[in-house]
């Protein structure tokens, strides 16, 4: 059996999507999962499988973009001994390994045209032939495909077969980006924090860090959030993860209001100077070239305080 990911879902759009998946899973039709890179398409492919009558069968993953084109046909369909120079023995392909289960074809838009034809035949006829063999093998496999590309545009550009697109797109599922499901951000962040904290248990985010996580636009979606929290766990020295541990890009901030952006920069800059001077306000004011009384006002305005 494959190892499955934990699905964290609190936002209404994801809970509604799971209800759709419950209905989709009961059928045996092909599923096409669309969404931005890093949004978690593979997790939702897993949910289709786990909620289906095939849940006790194998779930075989294939990243079509990660396997060299010259090896992809053999990887997918298998080969017989002597089919090509390095074929020292018969080999089962990923489709055969998925028998009575599900095969997940990620990055389907990167599939070479010659293999698009063969995948189409598998869907239509439920049969395949190994590389170097003329023996047809019956197949009982459900196909789930995924891509972050616009397949309709790929079809119009002649890069993807129209007939295969319609065969795959029987039951389309769109996974919304993380910025459209903000109720999941802190739930996911806390999950990753626990995962990557190791023996350093009971770590938590500061209130400012939580606000930063919520206000960031997450262009890399859940994958970027996961990487961000893993990095913070490695770099952060304290029990409390602060904004300085997150290293979020300023251009990712959702609120594009200039005053908000300037105040956010000022707050982070003042905090940094204070921390470098052990929160000595007199020394920090000298470095900032401002009056100590004005620094005290900024500290109150931005609600700055030493970390625990």
238 pLDDT band (50/70/90 cuts)?
confident
Q: Which segments of the chain belong to CATH 1.10.8.60?
A: 182-301
Q: Per the structure block, which two tokens stand in for 195?
A: 């995962």
CA 69/CA 47 separation, integer angstroms: 29
Q: What is the residue-averaged pLDDT of the chain?
A: 88
Domain 12-176 sits in CATH 3.40.50.300: yes
182-301 is a CATH 1.10.645.10 domain: no
- Work out the average pLDDT over 162-184: 94
Domain with CATH 3.40.50.300 in the chain: 12-176
HEC-encoded secondary structure of the chain: CCCCCCCCCCCHHHHHHHHHHHHHHCCCCCEEEECCCCCCHHHHHHHHHHCCCCCCCCEEEEECCCCCHHHHHHHHHEECCCCCCCCCCCEECHHHHCCCCEEEEECHHHCCHHHHHHHHHHHHHCEEECECCCCEEECCCEEEEEECCCHHHHHHCCCCCHHHHHHHCCEEEECCCHHHCHHHHHHHHHHHHHHHCCCCCCCEECHHHHHHHHHECCCCHHHHHHHHHHHHHHHCCCCEECHHHHCCCHHHECCCCHHHHHHHHHHHHHHHHHHHCCCCHHHHHHHHCCCHHHHHHHHHHCCCCCCC
pLDDT of residue 198: 81
Q: How confident is the model at residue 23 (pLDDT cuts 50, 70, 90)?
A: very high
pLDDT at residue number 103:
96
66 or 89, higher pLDDT? 66
Q: Is the pLDDT of residue 2 over 80?
A: no
pTM of the model as a whole: 0.77
Binned at pLDDT 50, 70 and 90, residue 85 comes out as: low
- Asked if residue 103 lies in contact with residue 143, where contact means CB atoms within 8 angstroms, the answer is yes
What confidence tier does 225 reach under pLDDT thresholds 50, 70, 90?
A: very high
| pLDDT for 251 beyond 60 | no
Residues 125 and 110: beta-carbon distance below 8 Å: no
Mean pLDDT, residues 52-62 = 96
| Confidence band, pLDDT 50/70/90 cuts, at residue 253 | very low
């Amino acid at each position: 059996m494959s190892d499955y990911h934990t699905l964290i879902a609190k936002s209404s759009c994801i809970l509604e999507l799971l209800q759709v998946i419950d209905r989709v899973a009961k059928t045996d039709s092909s599923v096409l999962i669309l969404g931005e890179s890093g949004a978690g398409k593979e997790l939702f492919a897993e949910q289709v499988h786990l909620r289906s009558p095939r849940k006790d069968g194998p779930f075989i993953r294939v990243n079509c973009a990660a396997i060299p084109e010259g090896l992809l046909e053999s990887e997918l369909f298998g080969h017989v001994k002597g089919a090509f120079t390095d074929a020292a023995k018969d080999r089962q392909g990923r489709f055969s390994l998925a028998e009575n289960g599900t095969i997940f074809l990620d990055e389907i838009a990167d599939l070479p045209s010659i293999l698009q034809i063969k995948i189409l035949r598998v869907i239509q006829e439920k049969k395949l032939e190994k590389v170097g063999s003329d023996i047809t093998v019956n197949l009982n496999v459900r196909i789930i495909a995924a891509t972050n590309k616009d397949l309709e545009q790929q079809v119009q550009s002649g890069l993807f077969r129209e007939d295969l697109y319609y065969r795959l797109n029987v039951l389309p599922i769109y996974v919304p980006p993380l910025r459209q499901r903000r109720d999941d951000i802190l739930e996911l962040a806390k999950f990753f924090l626990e995962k990557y904290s190791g023996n350093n248990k009971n770590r938590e985010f500061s209130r400012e860090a939580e606000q930063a996580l919520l206000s960031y636009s997450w262009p890399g979606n859940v994958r970027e959030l996961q990487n961000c929290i893993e990095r913070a766990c490695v770099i952060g020295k304290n029990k409390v993860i602060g904004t300085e541990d997150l290293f979020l890009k300023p251009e990712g901030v959702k609120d594009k209001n200039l005053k908000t952006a300037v105040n956010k920069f000022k707050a982070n800059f003042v905090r940094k100077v204070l921390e470098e001077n052990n929160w000595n306000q007199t020394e920090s004011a000298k470095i900032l070239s401002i009056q100590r009384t004005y620094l005290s006002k900024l500290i109150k305005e931005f609600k700055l305080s030493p970390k625990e």
